[in-house]
């Protein structure tokens, strides 16, 4: 089969293959077709000299809110992905069983960017999240809709990758941990993983972790005090270590209030890296402090994680969390998505959600993307 596109001479960083080398990547029929030096172009092949760039598998942002126009926190997926190098945006609970059909028809299906979703167990998803209105959808147990959530998840398995629930003082109020138990019932019924949001207690970090199963995701995992994974002495809490041992996954989900440098420094110092790095991008954090996926990745690069580990947390690890092994890789036969980035040197001001600033010496910048084997450069 002739190649549709060849990316020529870039530094390919693909942790799924333990690959970090200057080589070519070819695409055909919407998939990765070949990896190697000197790949031969056909007369109709689009050949791009990417020798100035790092080429990674298409970035996956495991925590976004992209139900634009359907919820007040939704942002435009295509605009966001162009700027941040994301080829798969995973919406985490913007829609519930009562409004997922609109999300699918009006946002997901027309999008050039792949959008997958965790379905909220609450009937209308995250409906009360704005600058002026902040109502935790899990506060009201009458909105929990496990029967319809199971039906909708089962009927949309091509797009729905799991069940979402938000618990904590600001999300579930006096309902506490009960919404998590309801969501787990749905996840068990449909055989999908769960993503659990956690904010201020109650419930405690330990209570939430104690209920999660292998393959479930705790997002906002490096959040500030209270409900932080680190002890006051800078060690990792035993419940956190035990949860990772049994297969619970830890996702960043930066957002407006859920990532602190202090927590991250303690966790990284103990060798506890996040499984996945995600932005939790929405209307209240897109102008800071999260900004986008590559900015979130840059923060971890500047805190000492190796580039390959940062890329893995935004590609192959996320694909495994989604149970979509065809994503997050440049192995031949994988989905034909790739991200081009540069790592700029200098002094860059990064901010966390509690106002602490970090002056970093590097910044990951998106330079272009390939989606479905075709060049899709930022406008």
Residues at the binding site for Zn(2+) are 63, 65, 164, 197, 220, 280
Is cis: bond before 289, omega within 30 of 0?
A: yes
Write out the DSSP string of 315-375: THHHHHHHT-TTSS--STTSBS-EEEEEEEEEEEEEE-TTS-EEEEEEEEEEEEEEETTEE
CB atoms within 10 A of CB 174: 9
Residues near 152 by beta carbon (within 8 Å), at least 6 away in sequence:
97, 100, 119, 160
Residues near 239 by beta carbon (within 8 Å), at least 6 away in sequence:
205, 206, 209, 210
Angle between helices 293-302 and 261-269 (to 10 degrees): 50
Query: Where is the binding site, in residues?
Result: 63, 65, 164, 197, 220, 280
Residue of 70, 25, 33 lying closest to 50 (CA atoms):
25
Query: CA 58 → CA 24, 66, 131, 256, 327, distances in Å?
Result: 15, 18, 32, 25, 8
Residue of 216, 200, 198 lying closest to 208 (CA atoms):
198
Residues 101 and 121: their CA atoms lie apart, in Å, by: 15
Q: Which residues lie across from 11 on neighbouring strands? A: 22, 54
Structure tokens at 80: 């966001």
């Amino acid at each position: 089969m002739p190649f549709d596109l060849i990316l020529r001479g870039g530094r390919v960083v693909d942790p799924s293959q333990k690959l970090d080398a200057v080589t070519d990547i070819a695409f055909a029929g919407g998939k990765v077709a070949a990896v190697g030096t000197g790949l031969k172009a056909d007369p109709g092949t689009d050949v791009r000299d990417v020798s100035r760039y790092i080429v990674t598998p298409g970035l996956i942002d495991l925590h976004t809110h992209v139900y634009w126009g359907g919820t007040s926190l939704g942002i435009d997926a295509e605009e966001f992905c162009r700027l941040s190098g994301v080829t798969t945006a995973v919406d985490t609970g913007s829609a519930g069983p009562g409004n997922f059909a609109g999300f699918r028809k009006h946002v997901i299906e027309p999008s050039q960017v792949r959008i997958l979703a965790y379905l909220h167990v609450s009937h209308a998803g995250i409906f009360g999240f704005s600058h002026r209105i902040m109502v935790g959808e899990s506060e009201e147990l009458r909105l929990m809709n496990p029967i319809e959530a199971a039906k909708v998840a089962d009927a949309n398995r091509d797009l729905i990758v799991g069940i979402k629930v938000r618990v904590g003082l600001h999300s579930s109020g006096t309902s506490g941990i009960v919404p998590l138990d309801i969501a787990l019932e749905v996840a068990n019924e449909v055989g999908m993983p769960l993503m659990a949001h956690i904010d201020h207690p109650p419930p405690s970090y330990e209570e939430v972790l104690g209920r999660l199963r292998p393959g479930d995701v705790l997002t906002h995992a490096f959040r500030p005090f209270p409900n932080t994974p680190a002890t006051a002495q800078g060690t990792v809490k035993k419940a956190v270590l035990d949860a990772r041992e049994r297969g619970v996954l830890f996702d960043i989900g930066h957002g407006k209030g859920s990532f602190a440098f202090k927590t991250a420094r303690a966790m990284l110092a103990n060798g506890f890296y996040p499984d996945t790095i995600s932005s939790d991008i929405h209307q209240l954090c897109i102008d800071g402090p999260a900004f986008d996926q590559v900015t979130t990745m840059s923060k971890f690069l500047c805190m000492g994680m190796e580039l390959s580990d940062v890329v893995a947390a935004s590609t192959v690890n996320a694909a495994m969390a989604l149970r979509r092994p065809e994503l997050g890789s440049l192995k031949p036969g994988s989905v034909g998505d790739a991200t081009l980035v540069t790592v700029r040197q200098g002094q860059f001001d990064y901010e966390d959600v509690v106002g602490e600033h970090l002056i970093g010496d590097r910044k990951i910048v998106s330079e272009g993307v390939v989606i479905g084997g075709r060049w899709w450069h930022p406008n």
